[in-house]
Structure 1
Amino acid sequence: MAKRKAECTPEEWALIREKDRKRKAKPSNKEWARQYEKRPETIARRKAYERKRDTSPERRAYLKALRDRPDQREKRLAFIKAYNADPRVKEYRKAYNLKKMYGIELQDLTRLVIFQNGCCATCSRPFSDDTKGTKPHVDHDHDTGAVRGLLCGPCNTVEGFIRKLGLTPAEYAARLQAYLDNPPAQEEQLW
């Protein structure tokens, strides 16, 4: 039978804890834990606990009353505003979103900006973090997920729009040139 902490000397307890850590770190135990989490009865038990904890009428009434108190609302909004203004939070979110959406790190984005000389790959407009529309947007292939480069906001929008129409960039350019050469409003006297 396993000893309790109160029954052991500090040295004995350290040995027991070390053995326990090693046992839990074995790959077979980790695999068992993964399988345990996937069992229907485990999932059902967890869902029942969450429902009971979050949706009991008393709990909902308490949270609603707490939310509706003006002083609590102001405190919460002030905290959220201060939290979102923190540059570390902004940097963390940016890194998290890059990793989640495109599979790249913040350093990869920086290297790509340097490789493109700090400019949009199509219009060569320089990137700037303070001007809307000139922040670098990661352009990626929606079929494969591969990152193609960095574009400014307007170029990224146009590129996506062309793809959505099902045209190639050359076809779109030809249509645009035909429109500019012979605008429909000049053929008919509408005005």
Structure 2
Amino acid sequence: MRPAHALLRSMGMNALILGGFALASVALVAATWFATRDTIAAARRAALEASLNALVPAARYDNHPAEDVLRLAPPGAPPLTVYRARKGGAPVAVLATVTAPDGYSGPIQLLVGVWADGRLAGVRVLAHKETPGLGDAIEVERSPWIHGFDGRSLDDPPRARWKVRKDGGDFDQFTGATITPRAVVKAVQGFLDYYAGHREALFAPATETRP
């Protein structure tokens, strides 16, 4: 049987070794983060700008929408991040991250672009958990359904027809999956309503009062 002092010495040595490994691991993770953070940030910015430009082409504005941002918390609605596109200081479009909370499998994250005159520049799905082969037809890569919003407004179709066809509206639903497109249509109309009531505030300089 090993003497108690030898056992304690061995345990202390093992603790030091483990502590050294832990410190080395932390240092390695920290060094990796510092070395890659700028690259990651640049990649995220490039992905964001690509998403914005998919709806509002870069030739239509001369500012930096990714830097001209409002973060809003409308009463009773999910938070919004709004990117503003301008040309010569004049409003061109807003692009907002909109949540459709009532998707079939959970919230659906959308990017909704609205021209200054209230027409839709377009809609894209940023994230969702809808059923593959059914609800995922909201993705532009899966079907052209999402293009059905292009150029629409609160007057086109009339407000009473901002629904899927099954509910008496103008927008197609998917075979076996009505809940998903219904949620998207409702969320897009909801943002158009918000835009119509807050247009001036949405385009105001960031230093002014937010809606």
TM over 0.5: no
Higher relative contact order (CA 8 A, sep 6+): 2
Computing the radius of gyration from Cα coordinates, the structure with the larger value is 1
The structure carrying a bigger strand percent of its residues is 2
TM-score of the pair, normalised by structure 2:
0.25
